[in-house]
Amino acid sequence: MTTSILNTVSSIHSSRVTPVDRVGVLSLRNPDSVDFTRRRCSGTSTLVFGSPGRRFVVRAAETDTDKVKSPTPDKAPASGSSINQLLGIKGASQETNKWKIRLQLTKPVTWPPLVWGVVCGAAASGNFHWTPEDVAKSILCMVMSGPCLTGYTQTINDWYDRDIDAINEPYRPIPSGAISEQEVITQFWVLLLGGLGIAGILDVWAGHTTPTVFYLALGGSLLSYIYSAPPLKLKQNGWVGNFALGASYISLPWWAGQALFGTLTPDVVVLTLLYSIAGLGIAIVNDFKSVEGDRALGLQSLPVAFGTETAKWICVGAIDVTQLSVAGYLLASGKPYYALALLALIIPQIVFQFKYFLKDPVKYDVKYQASAQPFLVLGIFVTALASQH
């Protein structure tokens, strides 16, 4: 074990020597005899020297180089959860099973908004019926939007974020080496081609002369790629990147569900793009935990560009103002009951924003998303029901 040289002088003072002081000090009893002793206590060293009856004391902190650790852990927390690992969220336990690691990369916790988007699109079409065929179509569309294309998006995002994760979360599968580069590349190609293949099947099944669902899936996949990959890497710009992410999570699955059972209309396109601004706010929530890595690699996420305090207000403002605007649109369109229902769903979101997110966006991000976002997605469904009338 090596010990560094004294790095901080805590105090230098002189005092009378008492009998008690003669233990554990460097004392100069006479000019010809020097006795060196050293006292160590609580991580400090004390050297004392002086003439008979006098002493000088130097206390300094010592650093044990073997005990110096990086502020960022290189292992997952010991109390990590296996459920968190399967869902792909923070607090995950370490895993060696390759299939569990592959699932973790796809972040299943991010699938529900896409699945819900398909439900909203099918509801907005006005042509969905509870028949085995329509149910099967919708389930296949959900598989395309969630496990396949969202899984592709999350895997490729982790692939291009591996340098950032090496700073923020070095124990994640890719930077830790739990899964090889070739295995990651194979995974996102399989998911991408699988999603596009399902999109083509859905177009044939729906009898489309124009492969609308396939085009939407292809466009969404391209958007996912340029969001994460250079040279464009949209995520480098907090505004553009988060809006693109919001559109891919809300607008695209809605459009796919509606195109599968009906046709897209201009008012639906406007409403869903407006809701993509709320999606921008949702995307910002995930940026707070990556501030250190984003700043180190020059990514201008909103928390980096504006600071945590300003960014968290931008986040809740984007979500709340969007929904209030949609409620106003529904009221102006002669749909007051849907507008009131949407307003009723906004109130608990604001309560949870103040209770969790605005208090500490990093510490309470999971609690906030679990408590507030269900009301947001229910609001999107209310808007979808209003669109079919």
Q: pLDDT tier at 77 (50, 70, 90 boundaries)? A: low
User: In this predicted structure, what is the pLDDT of residue 343?
Assistant: 96
- The secondary structure of residue 94, as a DSSP letter, is P
In percent, the amount of the chain with pLDDT more than 90 equals 53
pLDDT confidence bin for 165, thresholds 50/70/90: confident
pLDDT tens digit string along 208-238? 999 999 999 999 999 999 999 999 999 888 8
Q: Which of 62-71, 167-176, 310-319 has the lowest mean pLDDT?
A: 62-71
Tokens 């010809």 appear where? 32
CB 141 within 8 A of CB 203: no
pLDDT value at 23 more than 80: no
Q: What is the pLDDT of residues 237-283, one digit of tens each?
A: 888 988 998 888 899 999 999 999 999 888 888 889 889 899 888 88
What is the average pLDDT value for the chain, to the nearest integer?
82
Q: Domain boundaries in the chain? A: 110-262, 265-388
201 has a pLDDT exceeding 50? yes
Please check whether the two domains, 110-262 and 265-388, share a CATH topology.
no
pLDDT at 34: 45
Q: Coil, strand or helix: which one is 77?
A: coil
- pLDDT of res. 295: 87
- Scored b (16 or more CB within 10 A) or e, 285-295 reads bebbbbbebbb
Question: In angstroms, rounded to a whole number, what is the distance separating the alpha carbons of residues 131 and 143?
Answer: 18
Q: Which fold has domain 265-388?
A: Four Helix Bundle (Hemerythrin (Met), subunit A) (1.20.120)
Q: How confident is the model at residue 186 (pLDDT cuts 50, 70, 90)?
A: very high
Looking at residue 79, what is its pLDDT?
58
pLDDT above 50 for 379: yes
Helix (H) or strand (E) holding 41: strand 39-41
**Among 7-16, 34-43, 126-135, 328-337, which stretch is predicted with the lowest mean pLDDT?**
7-16
User: Can you tell me the distance from the alpha carbon of 222 to that of 355, in angstroms, rounded to the nearest whole number?
Assistant: 37
Alpha helix locations (H) across 207-306?
A: 212-228, 238-261, 266-285, 291-296, 302-306
Q: Which CATH number fits domain 110-262: 1.10.357.140, 3.10.20.90, 3.30.413.10, 1.20.1250.20?
A: 1.10.357.140
Over residues 15-36, mean pLDDT: 41
Decide which of 22 and 122 is more confident: 122
Could you tell me which residues come within 8 angstroms of residue 192 by beta carbon, excluding any fewer than 6 positions away? 148, 149, 152, 221
Between 140 and 294, the more confident residue is 140
Q: Which pLDDT does position 265 carry in this prediction?
A: 84
Phi-psi group of 42: left, alpha or beta (phi > 0 → left; psi -120 to 50 → alpha; rest → beta) = left
User: Average pLDDT in the 46-57 region?
Assistant: 48
> CB within 8 A of 121, min separation 6: which ones?
253, 254, 255, 256, 257, 258, 259, 260, 261, 384
How high is the pLDDT of residue 75?
55
Q: Is the pLDDT of residue 25 over 90?
A: no
